[in-house]
Amino acid sequence: MAQNTRYDILFEPVAIGPVTAKNRFYQVPHCSGTGHLRPQAHAAMRAMKAEGGWGVVCNEETEIHPSSDLSPYVENRLWDERDIPALRLMTDAVHEHGSLAGIELVHNGNHTYNLFSRAPALAVNDMSVSFGWPKQARAMDKSDIKELRRWHKQAALRSKEAGFDIVYVYAGHGMTLAQQFLLPEYNNRTDEYGGSLENRTRLIRELLEDTKEAVGDSCGVAFRFAVDELKGADGMQAEEEGRAVVELLAELPDLWDVNVSDWSNDSSTSRFNLEEGYQTQYTEFVKTVTSKPVVAVGRFTSPDMMVSLVKRKAVDFIGAARPSIADPFLPKKIEEDRIEEIRECIGCNICVSCDGMSIPIRCTQNPTMGEEWRRGWHPEFIRPKQSEQSALVVGSGPAGLECSMQLARRGYHVTLAEAADTLGGRVSAESNLKGLSAWSRVRDYRQQDLQQRGNVDIFTGSELSAEQVVELGIQNVFLATGAVWRRDGVGRSSRKPLPGVESAKVFTMEDIVSGVQMPSGPIVIYDDEQGYLGGVLADHLSSAGHEVIIVTPGSVVSAWTAYTLEQERIQTLLLKQGVKIIANHSISSVSDDNVTVSCVFTGKKMEIPCAGLLLVTERTRRTELYQSLIALKESGNKEAQPFNFELIGDALAPGLIADAVYSGHLAAQNFEEDPAEIERALFQRELPSLSIER
């Protein structure tokens, strides 16, 4: 039970068929980019959630057959019994902490293109694969459906053998065969699997029955179902067919895991859905239809909201993917009434982006995520100090804050100096932009932690020179001095300043957040970086009433945000707000009142009016202090000896906020570490087995 009785209800055990979860905290399946290629990393990451108190810890979508081969994306795999040992690593590790382990079995139908297996793709009807490769899937005939059921059943039996307690049937995210059979948009079969809702639900019913028959005696059988596609009358709606499906199958699964579809709606970023519980309006009817337990998600991090959801019978389990990534110890912190220590997800989807890039998961808020096995990092514990040394951290952006916090946790005395009057650096700046307010949690969590520590001195309004750093006499200095956006247009498209830029009215993100008066007339944003910022600034300025033209060499705005599942939303939003998008163009020169842009393919030039040019091209590292310290050290100045200093964060290599946090964390972890160990950790990886067994 919880230390604060208010939260007791969250720690009640709940039965899922033949198994019982020790509490109501349920990590729903989520991808991690570790999967079948990095099983040790996968197991260690899931085990951390179990250690942190999640009553149920699921894996990620798990391919049941080579005709559902998600390559190049790295998910889990259970093609045959040879995949069992890798999955057992996870179940053993999760069970050690008394949690249940769940497996999400899937056949992805036309959402895979089988690039490794080179098997023909299968679908409910003849249709193109849904993305990524010019290829078609063929309609499954009755014998294919029989085979599919056999594969699923075998996978369920192997799941049990691998030690899983909960086995899924999965119809969600617009990604699975079971969902494609269900949706009339895909299914135009004329046999008993097409037509009426009952027919379109037939495959799901069969898969659920098969799974129950195979493993239902000892495993809970869960059904993950997207009740609404958020397409209005053009798709499944919670109050129409969504409800009818739940009514048809109400008591069949042991657990309903419900959400909205597609993935971009389920994993919506805070930029588009700031509110916690944004899915509840769609999912809460489910409990009124079934007596089986229900789990639902919605970026839940507030225990009071969790309690109220359970009390008003909207859910039985608090489902979480991202909140469990940002804070694997969220349940423990609630149990021990350490609410203010919860590291809340900021809804940025950097974790999600890793799946699309087939790389191990990472998180802006939790730099240890994905590093549990490789580096042996723990989100709550860090090895204590080695000596009585102290540290000075200059700059309080995400890198400086994280570095200070971790050094302080290790027990060192930390002095944090910040030139500005407030802490947070770029996080404070960017969270002032439209849609990014939740990002301030990166600062708030760390600031609150630091302010409570007796071994930390914080000085704001303190821009330090090299001489002042030396005067302070602190032996170890971490320079987290950040980076500033360039004002000359140098970037990916041009390694030279833009002709005419020196006499033009040029602005950067820093000007916008400091409230500089923008000229009246069209503002041209040049987004040569193609990350998130150009699109955010376009939204920010156009919402404030400015006429905005965004020029980008990319073929769409904010091209990289496809990985955070935001690109289409951003482009739609900007177009609706009247922002003019000039894609496939770079800027070739600038004058007082216009810019010349050229087509990246033909070089054809065009002039566009411009009252002010806002550049998002590249950043310059702020290394003046670092250079001055080097000069002082090299001058042989006795007072400047001996002391160590290093650059961290954006001053070392500009990147995402997640990169800066990671850099600060790494520096704190590596402080006073054996250089050989630092080197070893960098090279740590899971090597393919050279076994010749076929």
Which residue numbers are catalytic?
Answer: 31, 170, 173, 266
Nearer to ligand ADP, 431 or 542 (CB): 431
Residue 425 near which of ligand SF4, ligand ADP, none (CB within 5-8 Å, type-dependent): ligand ADP
Distance (Å, whole) CA 50 – CA 643: 42
- Partner that binds at residue 538, options ligand SF4, ligand ADP, none, CB closer than 5 to 8 Å by kind: none
Instruction: Please report whether residue 346 would count as binding ligand SF4 according to CB under 6 A.
Output: yes
Element of type H or E holding 533 = helix 533-543
Please name which of 503, 506, 495, 564 lies closest in space to residue 533, comparing C-alpha atoms. Answer: 564
Q: Does residue 219 contact residue 172 with C-beta atoms inside 8 Å?
A: no
Q: Which stretch binds ligand ADP (CB under 6 A): 366-374, 477-485, 499-507, 575-583?
A: 477-485
| Phi and psi, residue 227, nearest 5° | -75, -20
Asked if 34 touches ligand SF4 (CB under 6 A), the answer is no
Cis peptide before 497 (omega within 30 of 0): no
Q: Measured from the CB atom, is 17 or 649 closer to ligand ADP?
A: 649
Is residue 238 close enough to count as binding ligand SF4 by CB under 6 A? Answer: no
> Taking the complex as a whole, how short is the minimal distance between the CB of residue 430 and ligand SF4, in angstroms?
14
- The correct pick among 221, 394, 416, 582 for binding ligand ADP (CB under 6 A) is 394
Does residue 482 bind ligand ADP (CB under 6 A)?
yes
Pair 376, 341: CB distance under 8 Å: no
- Angle at which helix 657-670 crosses helix 398-410, to 10 degrees, equals 30
Stretch that binds ligand ADP, among 395-403, 431-439, 562-570, 579-587 (CB under 6 A): 395-403
Supply the DSSP string of 189-218, one letter for each residue: --STTSSSHHHHTHHHHHHHHHHHHHHTTT
Whose tokens are 């170890």? That residue is 476
In the complex, what is the shortest distance from the CB of residue 512 to ligand ADP, in angstroms, rounded to a whole number?
15
Which amino acid does the sequence have at 537? L
Cα 584 from chain centre: 28
Report CA Rg, the chain: 27
- Residue 349 binds to ligand SF4 (criterion: CB under 6 A): yes
- Residue 416 touches ligand ADP, criterion: CB under 6 A: no
Spatial distance between the Cα atoms of 658 and 539, rounded to a whole number of angstroms: 22
Query: Site for ligand SF4 (CB under 6 A): which residue of 46, 65, 243, 322?
Result: 322
399 binds ligand ADP (CB under 6 A): yes
Q: Are the beta carbons of 532 and 349 closer than 8 angstroms?
A: no
In the complex, minimum distance from the CB of residue 538 to ligand SF4, in angstroms, rounded to a whole number: 22
Question: Within its chain, how far is the Cα of 465 from the centroid?
Answer: 38
Interface pick for ligand ADP out of 379, 425, 435, 554 (rule CB under 6 A) = 425
> Distance between CA atoms of 296 and 298, rounded to whole angstroms?
7
Residue of the chain from 400, 489, 500, 534 that contacts ligand ADP (CB under 6 A): 400
The pair of structure tokens assigned to 511 is 């000007």
- Taking contact as CB under 6 A, which single stretch among the options 101-109, 110-118, 348-356, 659-667 is the one that binds ligand SF4? 348-356
Is the CB of residue 24 less than 8 Å from the CB of residue 296? no
Tell me if 565 contacts ligand SF4 by CB under 6 A.
no
Q: Closer CB to ligand ADP, residue 627 or residue 684?
A: 627
37 is a site residue for ligand SF4 (CB under 6 A): no
Piece in contact with ligand ADP (CB under 6 A), picked from 44-52, 136-144, 416-424, 470-478: 416-424
Considering only residues 364-403, where is the footprint of ligand SF4 by CB under 6 A? 364-365
**With respect to ligand SF4, which residue has the nearer C-beta, 347 or 379?**
347
Instruction: Report the residue number, 99 or 364, with the smaller CB distance to ligand SF4.
Output: 364
Q: Does 666 sit near ligand ADP (CB under 6 A)?
A: no
How many residues line the site for ligand ADP (CB under 6 A)?
Answer: 26
Cα–Cα distance measured from residue 646 to residue 631, given in angstroms and rounded to the nearest whole number: 14
Question: Which one-letter DSSP state was computed for residue 132?
Answer: S
Minimum CB distance to ligand ADP, residue 401 (Å): 7
Q: Does 363 bind ligand SF4 (CB under 6 A)?
A: yes
Q: Please tell me the distance from the alpha carbon of residue 10 to that of residue 13, in angstroms, as a whole number.
A: 9
- Candidates 448, 515, 492, 482; CA nearest to 663 is 482
Residue 651 touches which of ligand SF4, ligand ADP, none (Cβ within 5-8 Å per kind) = ligand ADP
Q: Is 330 among the residues that bind ligand SF4 (CB under 6 A)? A: no
367 binds ligand ADP (CB under 6 A): no
What count of other Cβ atoms lies within 10 Å of the Cβ of residue 195?
14
Query: Which strands form 413-417's sheet, in the order they lie side by side?
Result: 456-459, 413-417, 390-394, 476-479, 644-647
70 binds, among ligand SF4, ligand ADP, none (CB under 5 to 8 A by kind): none
* Separation of alpha carbons 98 and 53, rounded Å: 9
At 167, which amino acid appears?
V
Tell which one of 61, 241, 344, 418 touches ligand ADP (CB under 6 A): 418
Ramachandran sector of residue 157 (left: φ over 0; alpha: ψ -120 to 50; beta: rest): alpha
- Report the interface residues with ligand SF4, using CB under 6 A: 322, 325-326, 345-351, 363-365
> Which residue ranges make up the site for ligand ADP (CB under 6 A)?
394-400, 417-420, 425-426, 462-464, 480-483, 622, 625, 649-651, 660
